Amino acid sequence: MEITYTVDKVDKLDNILREKLKMSRRVIKECEQDILVNGVHRLRNQLLNIGDVILVSLKEVILEEEKFINKYAKVEEELDILYEDEYLLAVNKPSNMPVHPSCNNYDNTLSNIVAPYLAKQNVFGIHIVTRLDKDTSGVCIFAKHPYIQELFNLKKKDLNIKKEYLCVVKGIIKNQHEIIEQPIKRKENSIILREVNNEGQYAKTEYFVEKLNKKDNFSILKVLLHTGRTHQIRVHMSYIGHPLLGDDLYEKETEKENILKLIQRQALHCNKIKFTHPITGNKICIISNLPQDIKTLIEDKNCIFVAK
């Protein structure tokens, strides 16, 4: 895996690596012997001129016992790959599967399946760029090096990441379009639950009503995430009185006996992620088709399109 950069301002090599390429000192140290300028190894304190070409061969130093595939069980299952290049892997995550192992689940996770696939490319670390809840399906992105993962945070504004979800919520929503801006905080005395709370972190969710099913009393929404708080869509939709169908965490206690009537999990799917590639600068759009359980709800004969 290589990174190429053409110098546009006279500066020390070390400064360019840290300020222009956003490399941490750890990454620079790991790759130091594989950093060339115009094909020649140069000291990091040397001045470079405009037009000089820096070539970095990225290496990830992981002790044998710390490699992901040695810590957790390998699961040899076929991945539904939506996009892949030298730096990134995007897969379609099914529902009922966590992204990463935890103390309660070491084997049945997406990372357990991704690990042996990446190991064949000599990538032994799992670096998650976009996460999804266990029962949320759709686009999930992994980086093939921690430096690539870090760039998604360090260059967040430049990458212009846009996430689009499709969800089905209880009730008939009257407003065809709404922006919800309510802070979210972890609920007191709970590790999992979140709630709208003035002491929480800023959160912004935008939705558009796509279809309505008055017979079964649900609405189908396109949702755009402008921030990425834990359970954000689930919390915000519950807050406005329209919890996701099948969501057993944020449905009212009095309604939970009917929670799985139409779908066996929360009806939430990440169907599109758009961003500027952190290395190539190309515009990337990754799309995931709807899984059958949500597709069945969408295609119900009682669903009617909302006039735009």
Which residues are designated catalytic? 133
Give the N- to C-terminal CA distance of the chain in Å, as an integer: 46
DSSP labels, 24-74: -HHHHHHHGGGEEETTEE--TTSEE-TT-EEEEE------GGGSHHHHS--
Q: Which residue has the tokens 């357990």?
A: 112
> What is the rounded radius of gyration, in angstroms, for the C-alpha atoms of the chain?
22
The number of C-alpha atoms within 13 Å of 123 and in the hemisphere containing its C-beta is: 22
